[in-house]
C-alpha cells in the first residue's frame, strides 16, 4: 500500500492553528520553492517565525498539544508532537532582510484550505546564493529556471 502523503490533515491543522492565532510566519526554503512550482526535493518544511516567544505562537502550539523545546548551544528550537514533526523552525535566513521587510513581499498560497505566506522564489534564490553550500549551489539552476518560467507566464498572462 502506498504511504500516505507527508502533508496530511494533521500537518494542515498545524498550519491552520498558526494562521488562526495570527502567528506571523513564512514558509521558506525548498518547500516554499516547491509550492511555487520548482522541481525541488525536500524532507521538511521550514517555517520562519517572526517571534518564537510570542504568545500567539505558544497558543497555537498549545491548541494542538505540541511542545516547544527551547534551543540550546547544540540544538535548534524544536517542536514535539503530532502534526509538527514535518516542520523545522528557522530563526535566521542568510542573505535576506529582516522578517518584517521580507514578509511585505510574501506570496499567499493555499495549502488545502489554509492560506499561508510563502517567501517568493526570488528571495529563496537570494538566500541560497548567500548560504552558498554545495547543496545550495546545486539547486540554484533549478530555482532560476523555475523563476524564468514564472516570469514568462506572468508576461504571457
Report the number of secondary-structure helices (H) and strands (E) in the chain: 6, 7
Site string (4-33) toward other proteins, x via CB under 8 A: -xxx----------------------xx--
Looking at 23, 26, 35, 66, which residue binds other proteins (CB under 8 A)? 35
Instruction: Assess 45 for contact with other proteins (CB under 8 A).
Output: yes
Question: For 53, which DSSP code?
Answer: T
Instruction: Rule CB under 8 A: say whether 94 interacts with other proteins.
Output: no
| 152 counts as binding other proteins under rule CB under 8 A | yes
State yes or no: residue 47 binds other proteins (CB under 8 A): no
DSSP letter for 7, please. Answer: S
Which residues, 6 or more positions from 118, have their beta carbon under 8 angstroms from its beta carbon? Answer: 26, 27, 28, 32, 35, 36, 106, 107, 108, 109
Nearer to other proteins, 53 or 154 (CB): 154
Q: How far apart are CA 149 and CA 48, in angstroms?
A: 26
Residue in 89, 111, 119, 124 binding other proteins, rule: CB under 8 A: 111
Residue 90 binds to other proteins (criterion: CB under 8 A): no
DSSP string, 102-118: HHTTPEEEEETTEEEEE
* Binding interface with other proteins (CB under 8 A): 3, 5-7, 30-31, 34-45, 86, 109-112, 141-142, 144-146, 148-150, 152-153
Amino acid at each position: 500500500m502506498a504511504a500516505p502523503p507527508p502533508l496530511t490533515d494533521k500537518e494542515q491543522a498545524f498550519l491552520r492553528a498558526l494562521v488562526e492565532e495570527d502567528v506571523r510566519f513564512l514558509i521558506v526554503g525548498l518547500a516554499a520553492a516547491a509550492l511555487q512550482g520548482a522541481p525541488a526535493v525536500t524532507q521538511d518544511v521550514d517555517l520562519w517565525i517572526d517571534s518564537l516567544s510570542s504568545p500567539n505562537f505558544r497558543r497555537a502550539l498549545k491548541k494542538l498539544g505540541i511542545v516547544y523545546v527551547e534551543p540550546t548551544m547544540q540544538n535548534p528550537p524544536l517542536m514535539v508532537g503530532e502534526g509538527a514533526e514535518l516542520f523545522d523552525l528557522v530563526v535566521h535566513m542568510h542573505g535576506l532582510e529582516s522578517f518584517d521587510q521580507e514578509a511585505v513581499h510574501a506570496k499567499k498560497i493555499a495549502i488545502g484550505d489554509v492560506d499561508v505566506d510563502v517567501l517568493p522564489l526570488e528571495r529563496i534564490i537570494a538566500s541560497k546564493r548567500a548560504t552558498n553550500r554545495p547543496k545550495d549551489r546545486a539547486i540554484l539552476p533549478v530555482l532560476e529556471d523555475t523563476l524564468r518560467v514564472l516570469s514568462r507566464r506572468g508576461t504571457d498572462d
